[in-house]
A and B are shown apart, each in its own frame.
Chain A
Amino acid sequence: MSTRETKSDILQGTLDLMVLRTLATMGPQHGFGLAQRIQQISGGALDLNQGTLYPALLRLEHRGWIRSQWGVSGNNRRAKFYEITAAGRKQVEKESADWARTVQIMDRFVRLAETE
């Protein structure tokens, strides 16, 4: 068995919440920036295929949770910036609560195994 610290795959459906939460706290970001932040926050423990961000961004935009705009990046390059909308903020709160509940439940099961 490998002794290296393993990176986690992204759980299905969780990328949306990560993107939304990141945009909500860090403000408007371009794709690269967003990927950097997500990896920073995860402490480098996530195996993020950065290319998968783009379809996810389009999906969120279709739902009206984020919007995009062309702007200028830090090193003076044309880049597309993504920003969370009011509907997106509401969605973040809702999904965060859902997650908290799920984690709580899962936590109980995990501890059950520990006490035995």
Chain B
Amino acid sequence: MLGIWMRIRELFRGTRLDGELDEEVNLHLEMIEEEFRRRGMNQAEARAAARREFGGVALAKEAYRDQRGFPRLEIFVKDARYALRGLRRSPGFTAAAVLSLALGIGANTAIFSLFHTLMLRMLPVAHPEQLISINRTGGWGVGTVSEPLYRQIAGRTDLFSGVIASNRVQKVRFRPRTGDREEYAQREYVSGNYFRVLGVQPVMGRLFSAEDNRVPGGHPLAVLSYDLWRNHFGADPAALGRTVLVDQQPLTVIGVAAPGFYGVELERRAEIWVPFMMSSGQVTSPNMWWLSMIARKRPEVSRQRAQAALSVLMRQHLTALYGPRYDAAFREKALGQRLEVREGALGLSMLREHFGKPLGVLLALVALVLLAACTNVANLLLARGAARQKETALRLSLGATRTRLVRQALTETLLIAAAGSALGIGLAAWGVRAVAGFLPEQAGNPFSNAPDLALLAFTIAISAGSALLFGLGPALRSTAVHPAAALRSGGADPGRPALRRTLVVAQVAFSVVLVALAFLFGHSLLAMRSVDLGFRNQNVIAFSLDFPRLWNGNAQQAQDRLMQTLAATPGIYSVSGAFPPPVMIGSSSDASIRVPGSERTVTRPADVDVTYVAPRYFETIGATLKGRDFDRNDTATGPKVAVVNEAFVREFLPGESHPESRWLSFDDDRPEGGERTGIVGVVHDIRQNGIQDKIVARVYVPLSQHKVSYPPDILVRTALPLPAVRAVVRRELPQLGAGLVVADVTTIRQRIDDSIFEQHLLATLGGFFGVLALVLAAVGLYGVMSYGMARRAGEIGIRMALGAKRVDVVGMVLGDAMVLFSGGLILGFPLEWAAALAVHSLLFDIAAADPVAFGGTGAVLIAVALGAAFLPARRAASIDPMRALRHE
């Protein structure tokens, strides 16, 4: 303890202590001297004897100083000062090194931050590792369960210590007090045991219990998130017991949940929790699939056992539910469903399914970028070391140890790494925002810029790792100098700079992989973009009306009126509507049909996709139609009509030259078939669900002749810009009824973009990293070539004096560059092949051995290599033989 205090004091009083030591040592020497003089020596003899007796004065002082204070720290500070001076003296080098590293570290931090949020971070609840999620899979896609099925699963206390249910977090109208302005809040419907099973505590009041979720519509209660309580109620305890309006439902606030808890859905933060029995619709119906489940598994139950038990349970449930009274096609699909146990610790996320794998690929890409950046910095350091060889040699011959010089060099790399990481963290914050900008609005956004310990640890680890990676080699290489030889030869490096050449080869190899991946992703994106969607007008504007839960108007009438107003607006060519709307991924609607005369439906009805559309639908979206479009005469009471697609004709009426003369019927549970529906047109196949949609048999029917449970999207074909259309809609809304809002007004093109955002992101970032790698490789190649030229100036001078032409010299330099470059290509192409295979599943309709990617990569790299080598080559060719030789 005492020692530390002394050391700290010594740290600040270095100069004074040096003086005191001098005084002490001098006194000691004088005393020995006096002693010897007393023994009869003369002054000179005595002085020499005293020195002998004392030993090395400087050595003793040095040993003394080495012990004082915190010697390592002092040496480090001294080295850091020295390094800083050196870095300031060569700002070009410093900027290049710091910037390469900052880009590498920034890219890694940004992508890791996204990856961590989506794939690694556990829910802030008690023992998240015990949680599993239970998903329905099969014919109807991945998803939710019904309330009776949930209750059955929750009853399996032999498997689970608790099972919670919630529905997707939804943005709903919210009024903190009656009379307040209406705002929006994120609501999650939850089961009564939700908080108890997750182990979340209240900060105030109480949270739900099983008693709060018994009867449909019987529990008008709400729990607020800590953030909402603070933002809307100023953390006022009086919020407790107050009535809030959530989606026009008056609910009593009973408690506030612990801070930091935002529900179990990753990309949507819940702000208000409501017992799910308060949801509208037939909550307890076995046919309403709407609840997501998370269960806390008993520790002694294995995941396999839980999975097996749930499979049995699901089969029994489905068999009981879908008895023989359902038609065969439907039963087959319904009974094909399964329950699947998955990891639950990370929470629920739709985004993870789509975005997880691309993020993994990006993580690998940025690792390569960092490697390329490290190689670049190592190369710069080597160049610097070579330039400083004379200085190094001088210091070595003056008695500096090699360890000391290596330590000094490493201190410099540490400073570069520190500056690079600081700048990189800034870049990362920007990068996270840029990547999140690619996410479509409906995907939610789980990414925040909140500082995170894991993230910080990651950044520090990669910074330190890269400092070692790029610093150690050059530090050892630059200090391996024969002082005498180096001083004699005037600082020229004996032998070829093999390490630098190897590094350039590595850089070229990294660039090959990164550039090839950029080409692959770009090509894939182009391929997606050029898919024929079956309709021309991608600039059609689409939006839907959002009706309040308690709306006293007629939705159908309001919609018709808005469509008429829009149709009468100058600049708007046509207006229609559809459900499901075009390129609305995830919504589908199907029905069982029979087609008289078709062999396919003789014994049992067939399942087809159905789209409900308004008049002039095909004209509005620009589809090629044989026959007629729907119009105003297709009314509810008129003859039932339908338009089918070409796939339908191929499947049900093969070889029929006049499908317009045939008819079909919706099965409606009656063996003899339902009402006669005349086919009035055949439309070219439309990829209704976007680019990756499979073409299936589809029937289009008029909205006016069928009941649809969701409001259809309104579609507008217009020359007006989007904001103008939005303005017209906003102006019209109040006339249609109070409380109406319009949900996101976008173009179909935007929806297509949103549906392939991962591809878009991969192509953009891939391109960015590819260019970055190219720049780094070009700088490396240029550096090595110029250095080589400077070193061989004399040799080139002699060659030219002996009659070599300029062309020969240029050829020689370019040839040398090509040797390095080919090395990189030979190394890079197998890596590229491996990388292409790894990302193949993310590519759309592109082979791993894509000729465009391979060819393009080769061409781009050759161009860059020639460009980087050309300048040094030209400089070499303009060497004046006489001057070069004289210099020698």
Interface size on B, residues (CB 8 A): 26
Across-interface contacts of B68 in A (CB, < 8 A): 58
Chain-A contact segment, one of B24-32, B40-48, B388-396, B833-841: B24-32
Nearest chain B CB to A1's CB is how many angstroms away? Answer: 24
Cβ-closest chain B residue relative to A61: B6
B233 at the interface (CB under 8 A from A): no
Across-interface contacts of B24 in A (CB, < 8 A): 31, 54, 79-80
Is there an interface contact between B67 and A55, defined as CB atoms closer than 8 Å?
yes
Chain-B contact segment, one of A20-28, A45-53, A107-115: A45-53
B399 at the interface (CB under 8 A from A): no
Chain B binding site: helix, strand, loop or mixed by DSSP?
helix
User: CA–CA, A35 to B61, complex, Å?
Assistant: 17
A63 at the interface (CB under 8 A from B): yes
A7 at the interface (CB under 8 A from B): no
Beyond A50-B53, A64-B3, whether A32 also contacts B67 by CB under 8 A is: no
User: CA–CA, A13 to B556, complex, Å?
Assistant: 98
Across-interface contacts of B67 in A (CB, < 8 A): 55, 58-59, 62
User: CA–CA, A73 to B28, complex, Å?
Assistant: 11
Interface centre among A32, A59, A73, A79 (most CB of B within 10 A): A32
Cβ-closest chain B residue relative to A63: B3
Is there an interface contact between A50 and B7, defined as CB atoms closer than 8 Å?
no
Is there an interface contact between A51 and B59, defined as CB atoms closer than 8 Å?
yes
A30 at the interface (CB under 8 A from B): yes
Across-interface contacts of B20 in A (CB, < 8 A): 80
Beyond A32-B28, A32-B32, A49-B55, whether A54 also contacts B60 by CB under 8 A is: yes
User: CA–CA, A75 to B25, complex, Å?
Assistant: 16
Within 8 A of B (CB), among A34-92: 35, 49-52, 54-55, 58-59, 61-64, 73, 77-80
User: CA–CA, A79 to B29, complex, Å?
Assistant: 12
Across-interface contacts of A30 in B (CB, < 8 A): 27-28
Beyond A31-B24, A64-B3, whether A54 also contacts B55 by CB under 8 A is: no
Interface centre among B7, B28, B55, B57 (most CB of A within 10 A): B28
Cβ-closest chain B residue relative to A50: B54
User: CA–CA, A44 to B67, complex, Å?
Assistant: 29
Cβ-closest chain A residue relative to B62: A55
User: CA–CA, A79 to B6, complex, Å?
Assistant: 20
Beyond A54-B60, A55-B60, A79-B24, whether A32 also contacts B6 by CB under 8 A is: no
Across-interface contacts of B59 in A (CB, < 8 A): 51
Is there an interface contact between B64 and A54, defined as CB atoms closer than 8 Å?
yes
Across-interface contacts of A55 in B (CB, < 8 A): 60, 63-64, 66-67
Beyond A49-B54, A49-B55, A64-B3, whether A58 also contacts B64 by CB under 8 A is: yes
User: CA–CA, A86 to B667, complex, Å?
Assistant: 104
Nearest chain A CB to B188's CB is how many angstroms away? Answer: 62
Nearest chain B CB to A61's CB is how many angstroms away? Answer: 7
Beyond A31-B24, A64-B2, whether A52 also contacts B63 by CB under 8 A is: yes
Is there an interface contact between A52 and B25, defined as CB atoms closer than 8 Å?
no
B21 at the interface (CB under 8 A from A): yes
In which size bucket is the chain A interface? 20 to 34
Across-interface contacts of A63 in B (CB, < 8 A): 3
User: CA–CA, A73 to B26, complex, Å?
Assistant: 14
Is there an interface contact between B56 and A77, defined as CB atoms closer than 8 Å?
no
B23 at the interface (CB under 8 A from A): yes
Nearest chain A CB to B388's CB is how many angstroms away? Answer: 33
Across-interface contacts of B53 in A (CB, < 8 A): 50
Across-interface contacts of B25 in A (CB, < 8 A): 31, 51, 54
Is there an interface contact between B27 and A52, defined as CB atoms closer than 8 Å?
no
User: CA–CA, A30 to B60, complex, Å?
Assistant: 17
Cβ-closest chain A residue relative to B7: A62
Interface centre among A35, A49, A51, A52 (most CB of B within 10 A): A51
Nearest chain B CB to A40's CB is how many angstroms away? Answer: 12
Nearest chain A CB to B58's CB is how many angstroms away? Answer: 9
Is there an interface contact between B2 and A51, defined as CB atoms closer than 8 Å?
no
Residue in B27, B55, B60, B64 whose beta carbon sits within 8 Å of that of A77 in the complex: B27
User: CA–CA, A61 to B2, complex, Å?
Assistant: 9
User: CA–CA, A59 to B67, complex, Å?
Assistant: 7
Beyond A32-B32, A79-B27, A80-B24, whether A52 also contacts B55 by CB under 8 A is: yes
Across-interface contacts of A73 in B (CB, < 8 A): 27
Is there an interface contact between B3 and A62, defined as CB atoms closer than 8 Å?
yes
User: CA–CA, A78 to B24, complex, Å?
Assistant: 9
Across-interface contacts of B21 in A (CB, < 8 A): 54
Chain B window 560-599, contacts with chain A (Cβ cutoff 8 Å), 1 for yes, 0 for no? 0000000000000000000000000000000000000000
Cβ-closest chain A residue relative to B63: A55
User: CA–CA, A51 to B59, complex, Å?
Assistant: 8
Cβ-closest chain B residue relative to A74: B31
User: CA–CA, A29 to B55, complex, Å?
Assistant: 20
Beyond A58-B67, A80-B20, whether A32 also contacts B55 by CB under 8 A is: no
Is there an interface contact between B64 and A32, defined as CB atoms closer than 8 Å?
no
Cβ-closest chain B residue relative to A70: B20
Chain B window 1-34, contacts with chain A (Cβ cutoff 8 Å), 1 for yes, 0 for no? 0110011000000000000110111011001100
Beyond A32-B27, A32-B31, A58-B64, whether A50 also contacts B6 by CB under 8 A is: no
Nearest chain B CB to A32's CB is how many angstroms away? Answer: 4
Is there an interface contact between A51 and B55, defined as CB atoms closer than 8 Å?
yes
Across-interface contacts of A52 in B (CB, < 8 A): 55, 60, 63
Beyond A62-B7, A80-B20, A80-B24, whether A51 also contacts B31 by CB under 8 A is: no
Nearest chain A CB to B36's CB is how many angstroms away? Answer: 12
Across-interface contacts of B28 in A (CB, < 8 A): 30-32, 35, 50
User: CA–CA, A97 to B727, complex, Å?
Assistant: 97
User: CA–CA, A47 to B858, complex, Å?
Assistant: 74
Interface centre among A52, A73, A77, A78 (most CB of B within 10 A): A52
Residue in A51, A64, A78 whose beta carbon sits within 8 Å of that of B60 in the complex: A51
Nearest chain A CB to B30's CB is how many angstroms away? Answer: 8
Across-interface contacts of A35 in B (CB, < 8 A): 28
User: CA–CA, A108 to B61, complex, Å?
Assistant: 41
User: CA–CA, A78 to B59, complex, Å?
Assistant: 24
User: CA–CA, A58 to B66, complex, Å?
Assistant: 10
Nearest chain A CB to B134's CB is how many angstroms away? Answer: 64
Is there an interface contact between A51 and B54, defined as CB atoms closer than 8 Å?
yes
Across-interface contacts of A62 in B (CB, < 8 A): 2-3, 6-7, 67
Nearest chain A CB to B282's CB is how many angstroms away? Answer: 81
Closest 9 pairs between A and B when the two form their complex, measured CB to CB: A51-B60, A49-B55, A32-B31, A62-B3, A51-B55, A55-B63, A64-B2, A32-B28, A55-B64
Chain B residues with CB under 8 Å of chain A are 2-3, 6-7, 20-21, 23-25, 27-28, 31-32, 53-57, 59-61, 63-64, 66-68
- 19 A-B pairs with CB atoms under 8 Å apart are A32-B27, A49-B60, A50-B28, A50-B53, A50-B55, A52-B55, A54-B60, A54-B63, A54-B64, A58-B68, A59-B67, A61-B6, A62-B3, A62-B6, A73-B27, A77-B27, A78-B27, A79-B24, A79-B27
- Name 4 extra pairs, CB < 8 A, besides A55-B66, A62-B2, A62-B6: A54-B61, A62-B7, A77-B27, A80-B24
